[in-house]
Amino acid sequence: MDELIYVAMNGAKQLERAQAMVSHNLANANTAGFRAQMQMFQSQDVEGPGYETRVNTVMSPGGWNAARGAVMTTGNELDVAISGDGWLAVQAPDGSEAYTRSGDLRVTALGVLTTGAGHPVLGENGGPVAVPPHTKLSIGGDGTISVISKGQGAETMASVARLKLVNPSQADLYKGEDGLMHTYEGVDADADAAVRLTSGVLEGSNVNVVDAMVDMIGISRRYEMQVQMMKVANDNASASATLMRMS
């Protein structure tokens, strides 16, 4: 059978992968600090005997969008947004250190500070931040967490931890399947005192919904084209079989 049908089938498969990536971006259009995943298509010669007359399309991750999301005022004392460049250090599901700009923080029933996605937030000592029972909590611009313990007055406010804020080069980071940023070398980034936070606000997703919808429509049309080419290849094979029988 003509290699055309395999080329078209592979193209349809790659477009399905691209569609899944765009759909994932759209699903996270309202996720705080989310960074859109990008994609790119490359050509790859089909190897084998005969002339090289067919070329496959291969979709591969094209990195992530580093643009900042819109900042929204919430007034929540646990909501923070990084001013300018930088990242908040968190603990990834596998226990390693990872980075995010998602500042929708929470305090669990056990007093552990986490992001809205449930990732424990790390302190400058490298361990998860634990917050004691309190009546008021504030997070300073340098990441210092101060609380008024339960049963105490405002004059007793004291610092209990400091968030680990980092600013590694974008070229050293990649986006993992867990949605967090990781360093290529697997080495923990050093804390950077120049990274600043703003409390009571959240940075939103940087997904452009309109662009993503346009991409989705374009991918759907290209998918339909690949399916049509598979039908053409099948029709050609049927016509060839008919001619062989007549001869």
Mean pLDDT for 19-32 is 93
- Report whether pLDDT(125) > 70: yes
Q: What distance in Å separates the CA atoms of residue 92 and residue 89, rounded to the nearest whole number?
A: 9
Over the stretch 77-124, which tens digit does the pLDDT of each residue have? 999 999 999 999 999 999 999 999 999 999 999 999 999 999 999 999
Q: Which tokens belong to 181? A: 């940023």
Alpha-carbon span 208 to 33, nearest angstrom: 13
- Tallying the residues shown for the chain, one arrives at 247
What single string gives the DSSP state of each residue in 130-150?
B--SEEEEEE-TTSEEEEEET
Q: Nearest to residue 17, comparing CAs of 64, 60, 65?
A: 60
pLDDT of residue 232: 84
The H or E element that residue 89 is part of is: strand 87-91
- CA-based nearest residue to 3, from 59, 42, 55: 55
Is pLDDT at 203 greater than 60 in this prediction? yes
Residue ranges covered by each domain of the chain: 4-66+207-246, 72-202
204 closest CA partner among 76, 82, 84, 30: 30
DSSP code at position 4? H
Task: Determine the Cα–Cα distance for residues 173 and 100; give it in Å rounded to an integer.
Answer: 11
pLDDT band at 4 (very low <50, low <70, confident <90, very high): confident
* 188 has pLDDT over 60: yes
Helices (H), 48-156: none
Q: In percent, how much of the chain has pLDDT > 90?
A: 62
233 vs 92, residue with greater confidence:
92
For residues 219 and 14, what is the distance between their CA atoms, to the nearest angstrom? Answer: 10
- Report the C-alpha gap between 85 and 81 in whole angstroms: 11
Residue 10 sits at φ, ψ, to 5 deg, of -65, -40
Q: What pLDDT is recorded for position 100? A: 96
pLDDT of 107: 95
Average pLDDT for the chain: 89
CA–CA gap between residue 61 and residue 53 (Å, rounded): 26
Average pLDDT of the segment spanning 48-71: 78
CA distances from 184 to 69, 96, 189 (A): 24, 13, 11
Q: Answer yes or no: pTM beyond 0.75.
A: yes
Residue 1 has pLDDT above 60, yes or no: no
Residue (of 244, 80, 91) closest to 178 by Cα position: 91
- The more confidently predicted of residues 57 and 116 is 116
